[in-house]
């Protein structure tokens, strides 16, 4: 008898298992292939816009994706560095093999995690409460189960008009679990995603592509891992573009693509925000070319991944397309591109703690919930793991609000709105993205990592020290004043700023666009880590905008305070629109705030519901 059974060893499963182990639960992690733990089947990178912030959020809660990414990175970048802090994030090229090896080491560090190779076919459920899982030949019993099955449920590989049942990378798919979930009453949806071809590193003509180097400064996802690395040994990426000839080949062969009629019975929906090359060419025919990034798979690998070139066209067409791209005229394809179609569960069947509404102590996390991406999976995985432990301890669920974390935005979107295509986090999905920055994940979420005893004592000390330094520097800048002396004004002119006319604080001076925090070293000691300096500079320069966002978030939180009792019959509430009744009954929101975000429920319906609750 395990406390928690985790089904699936991907990014969601690893986070769920490790956090449950940290919370002193006996965990059984069941995966079809131990060598496939924490695989990176889609692309060899972690992070990106919004996604990189999620990695830092998971780290602040006590998760591991950030540390493992830092240990395994071969190039790090800060995206949107010339834009505002609300859209900045880190992205790392990852050595695929190192990442998997490091994650497996992390799992094996925990004596209360047992890893078993098996394929789960069914759940053991009694009186609407999960009791365990079944393979073809045996049963495993547990007090809670977390399903993190990725893209393996009845998975099909699609190339041209050919379909074959297979998981990612020719792994064995899960053939029966989704059908048995359907028998239990779950609504199953069919989704698809694509991968690009991998080519030989030594077959590229590097004179025709542009080199893309990593950052010239040391960057880390984790607040608690900062082992120095040699910046000069980062492996570069390269930039190239599609051509008119590329587009002609694609348009001529669209009928051969499984995305465009190559397979008659294809009903699945592909990702809107990570489209195939066929999608790009068809949807954006006004664009003469599309960016393609040539990304290394690892330090010891000779494979190069063509980022932005996922396709399901036949292999012979893939070769023609690749050879039409500058620098790839003689490229050797080592692994063909393919699309993968798979089953997922409509996530509106989950509570906000990721427990299913129908079956107690059954949780779901990752791509089974209709999401895409390693980062989204890891965020759900750690939340499912924490909440499964809280359930077993009869404690209140841990739910992050939309103004607290991108993880909160992600989960709220899933359980409130559902999905029609694989969900991808974007900065535009967050109403309060200035509050959910790359630089302040530690301040936002370490308090929860400490509250639930997930962070180690050493990590808590680091977080406490950083918090103290942040407050001390802010206080110093607000309490240190300069006057319009000749020396001061001469210095300001020298650094491109205007002269002072009156006494001001250094904090007020720092609000000037042209002034950087390092410029203030003339008046105070700035003996702080660069991450502290960055946080303080952002807090001061954007103080007014941040205060406005906090004020707006408070209004939203007022609606979250108005709880909706369970068991309401929405069809008996007079004057509610028919669609609102249907959607409210389906989602069963827990607060007025959540109800207001349901598609099809308009402000008039919310007003009627609020009046009904007051009368009740």
Domain boundaries, the chain: 198-340, 456-547, 562-615
Contact status, residue 365 vs residue 146, Cβ threshold 8 Å: yes
Instruction: Give CA–CA dist 393/419, Å, rounded.
Output: 31
Mean per-residue pLDDT for 422-445?
96
In CATH, the architecture of 456-547 is Orthogonal Bundle (1.10)
Specify the pLDDT at position 541. Answer: 97
Closest CA to 10 of 26, 25, 30, 27: 30
Mean per-residue pLDDT for 42-56?
95
DSSP bridge pairs for 296: 304
Specify the pLDDT at position 265. Answer: 58
In CATH, the architecture of 562-615 is Orthogonal Bundle (1.10)
3-state secondary structure of 216: coil
Residue 616 pLDDT > 90, yes or no? no
Backbone phi, then psi, for 111, in 5-degree steps? -65, -20
Q: Regarding predicted confidence, which is higher, 105 or 270?
A: 105
Closest CA to 297 of 80, 43, 528, 52: 43
Instruction: Give CA–CA dist 399/405, Å, rounded.
Output: 10
Residue reference for tokens 């702080």 = 528
| Rg of the chain in Å (alpha carbons) | 26
DSSP bridge pairs for 29: 6, 115
Mean per-residue pLDDT for 133-162?
95
Instruction: Give CA–CA dist 166/336, Å, rounded.
Output: 15
DSSP 140-169: EEEEEEEE--TT-BT-EEEETTEEEE--GG
> Which tokens is 269 given?
């929906």
pTM for this model (two decimals):
0.95
Residue 263 pLDDT > 70, yes or no? no
Residue 345 pLDDT > 60, yes or no? yes
Render pLDDT for 530-539 as a digit per residue (tens, 0 to 9): 999 999 999 9
- Cα-Cα-Cα-Cα dihedral sign, residues 131, 27, 424, 602: positive
Return the number of other C-beta atoms located less than 10 Å from residue 21's C-beta: 23
Would you give the distance in Å from CA 579 to the centre of its chain? 31
**Can you name the CATH fold of 198-340?**
Elongation Factor Tu (Ef-tu); domain 3 (2.40.30)
Q: Which range (169-183, 193-207, 272-286, 300-314) has the least confidence?
A: 272-286
b/e 550-561 (16+ beta carbons within 10 angstroms → b): eeebeebeebbe
Render pLDDT for 81-114 as a digit per residue (tens, 0 to 9): 999 999 999 999 999 999 999 999 999 999 999 9
DSSP bridge pairs for 259: none
Residue 258 pLDDT > 90, yes or no? no
Say if 198-340 and 456-547 have the same CATH topology: no
Instruction: Give CA–CA dist 272/259, Å, rounded.
Output: 13
Mean per-residue pLDDT for 393-414?
97
DSSP 556-578: HHHHHHSB--TT--GGGSTT--H
């Amino acid at each position: 008898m395990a406390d928690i059974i985790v089904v699936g060893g991907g990014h969601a499963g690893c986070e769920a298992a490790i956090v449950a182990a940290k919370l002193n639960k006996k965990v059984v992690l069941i995966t079809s292939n131990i060598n496939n733990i924490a695989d990176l089947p889609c692309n060899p990178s972690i992070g990106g816009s919004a996604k990189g912030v999620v990695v830092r959020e998971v780290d602040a809660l006590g998760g591991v994706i950030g540390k493992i990414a830092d240990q395994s990175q071969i190039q790090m970048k800060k995206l949107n560095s010339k834009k505002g802090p609300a859209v900045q994030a880190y992205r790392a090229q990852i050595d695929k093999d190192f990442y998997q090896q490091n994650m497996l080491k992390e799992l094996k560090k925990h004596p209360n995690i047992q890893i078993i190779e098996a394929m789960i076919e069914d759940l053991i459920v009694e009186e609407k409460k999960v009791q365990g899982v079944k393979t073809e030949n045996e049963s495993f019993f547990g007090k809670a189960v977390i399903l993190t099955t990725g893209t393996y449920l009845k998975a099909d590989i699609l190339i041209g008009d050919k379909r074959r049942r297979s998981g990612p990378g020719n792994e064995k798919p899960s053939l029966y679990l989704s059908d048995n979930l359907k028998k239990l009453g779950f609504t199953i949806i069919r989704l698809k995603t694509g991968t690009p071809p991998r080519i030989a590193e030594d077959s590229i003509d590097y004179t025709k592509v542009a080199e893309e180097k990593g950052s010239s400064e040391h960057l880390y996802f984790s607040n608690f891992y900062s082992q120095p690395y040699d910046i000069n040994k980062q492996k570069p990426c390269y930039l190239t573009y599609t051509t008119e000839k590329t587009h002609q080949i694609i348009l001529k062969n669209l009928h051969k693509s499984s995305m465009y009629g190559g397979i008659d019975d294809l009903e699945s929906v592909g990702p809107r925000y990570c489209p195939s090359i066929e999608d790009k060419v068809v949807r954006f025919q006004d664009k003469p070319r599309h960016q393609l990034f040539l990304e290394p798979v690892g330090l010891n690998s000779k494979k190069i991944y063509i980022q932005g070139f996922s396709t399901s066209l036949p292999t012979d067409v893939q070769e023609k397309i690749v050879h039409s791209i500058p620098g790839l005229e003689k490229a050797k394809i080592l692994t063909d591109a393919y699309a993968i179609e798979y089953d997922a569960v409509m996530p509106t069947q989950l509570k906000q703690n990721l427990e299913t509404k129908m079956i107690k102590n059954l949780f779901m996390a990752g791509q089974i919930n209709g999401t895409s991406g390693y980062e989204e999976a890891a965020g759900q995985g750690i939340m499912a793991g924490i909440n499964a432990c809280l359930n077993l301890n009869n404690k209140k669920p841990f739910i992050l609000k939309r103004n607290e974390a991108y993880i909160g935005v992600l989960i709220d979107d899933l359980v409130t709105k559902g999905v029609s295509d694989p969900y991808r986090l974007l900065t535009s999905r967050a109403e309060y993205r200035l509050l959910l920055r790359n630089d302040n994940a530690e301040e936002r979420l370490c308090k929860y990592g400490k509250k639930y005893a997930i962070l180690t004592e050493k990590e808590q000390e680091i977080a406490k020290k950083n918090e103290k330094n942040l407050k001390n520097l802010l206080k110093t800048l607000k309490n240190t004043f300069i006057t319009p002396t000749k020396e001061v004004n001469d210095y300001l002119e020298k650094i491109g700023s205007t002269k002072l006319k009156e006494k001001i604080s250094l904090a007020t001076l720092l609000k000037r666009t042209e002034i950087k925090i390092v410029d203030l070293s003339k008046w105070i000691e700035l003996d702080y880590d660069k991450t502290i300096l960055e946080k303080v500079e952002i807090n001061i320069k954007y103080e007014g905008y941040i205060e406005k966002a906090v004020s707006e978030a408070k209004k939203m939180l007022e609606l979250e305070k108005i709880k909706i009792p369970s068991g309401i019959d929405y069809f008996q509430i007079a004057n509610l629109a028919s669609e609102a009744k249907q959607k409210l009954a389906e989602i069963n929101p827990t607060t007025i705030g959540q109800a207001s975000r349901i598609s099809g429920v308009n402000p008039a319906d919310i007003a009627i519901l609020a009046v009904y609750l007051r009368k009740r």
